[in-house]
Amino acid sequence: MESEARLSIRDIHKTFHSKDGLHKVVDGVSLDVKDNEFLVILGPGYCGKSVLMNMIANLMKPDSGEIVIDGNKQKFKDGTSKKVGMVFQKLSLAPWKTVMQNVEFGLKLNGVDKEKRRKVAQKYIDLVGLTDFEKHYPHELSGGMKQRVGIARAYTNNPEILIMDEPFGQLDAQTRYSMQKEIIRIWEKDKRTIVFITNNIEEACYLGDRIVLLTECPAKVKKVYELNMPRPRNMVDKEFLEIRKIISDNTDLSL
């Protein structure tokens, strides 16, 4: 297991200091993510998921513990690893830039010439199903389409590990469901190692190869579930409902 891990999180701790005293948020989380695995981190609201994600992405320094990517221990001062890409709930797309300009932006920052970056960006715009929307501006897109732009933007930078922090949390139920199907379609076409964070049990069961269930704050690993259900998964299948119930019975998360 150790040797095939793409990303290893080893005994990470984080405590904040506030006027009310110490606030421990992450309490000794360890996990390994395998190459091309779709790993879901499932936890209740405010349990420390985003803090954990920020530490994995090297945006926040753990008090102790290690984040190891492909055998290399991450040093906080190095900033975000080029191997890691992110998709957030709030995407911060530039409103004055078109879909194409938003998607190609990372490559432009890295000095990639226009012809090459357009080609790469187009590949991922097509992959996420936004062909013909290249010249649209964010305000002309639905919530689901904006998330597609965020996914294309992350893919365009060619990360090996994609961290997705509740990317569908603000979408309406129908759009959320279709984006869950879409992210599996995209990942199956262009596999990456994905760490997907959610507080939704059904979403976790639909997406994950494994689900890491966290406790309430401070976040600890409560249980890891290996899901062997074939894809595409059906949320009303007996097996799906069984695993959903097993996880639900082990948590106070509301569905």
Ligand X SMILES: Nc1ncnc2c1ncn2[C@@H]1O[C@H](COP(=O)(O)OP(=O)(O)OP(=O)(O)O)[C@@H](O)[C@H]1O
Percent of the chain that is helix, strand, coil (3-state, to 5): 35, 25, 40
Report the relative pairing of strands 64-69 and 72-73 from DSSP bridges.
antiparallel
Per CB under 6 A, contacts with ligand X among 132-151 are none
Q: Rg for the chain (alpha carbons), in Å?
A: 18
Residue 76 touches ligand X, criterion: CB under 6 A: no
Residue 46 touches ligand X, criterion: CB under 6 A: yes
Residue number, 125 or 217, with CB nearest to ligand X: 217
Sheet with 21-34: strands ordered across: 21-34, 5-18, 64-69, 72-73
Binding-site member from 39, 48, 156, 194 for ligand X (CB under 6 A): 48
Give the nearest residue (CB) to ligand X: 50
Minimum distance from residue 14 beta carbon to ligand X (Å): 8
Residue number, 25 or 39, with CB nearest to ligand X: 25
Per CB under 6 A, contacts with ligand X among 6-45 are 16, 23, 25, 43, 45
Residue 51 touches ligand X, criterion: CB under 6 A: yes
Residues 6+ away with beta carbon under 8 Å from 100: 118, 121, 122, 125, 134, 135
Minimum distance from residue 33 beta carbon to ligand X (Å): 18
Place of tokens 């998709």: 87
Q: Which amino acid is at 191?
A: K
* Site pattern 154..193 for ligand X (x: CB under 6 A): ------------x---------------------------
Count residues near ligand X (CB under 6 A).
14
Q: Which of 235, 244, 151 minimizes the C-alpha distance to 196?
A: 151
Minimum distance from residue 165 beta carbon to ligand X (Å): 7
Q: Are 66 and 88 in contact (CB under 8 A)?
A: no
Binding-site member from 147, 157, 180, 199 for ligand X (CB under 6 A): 199
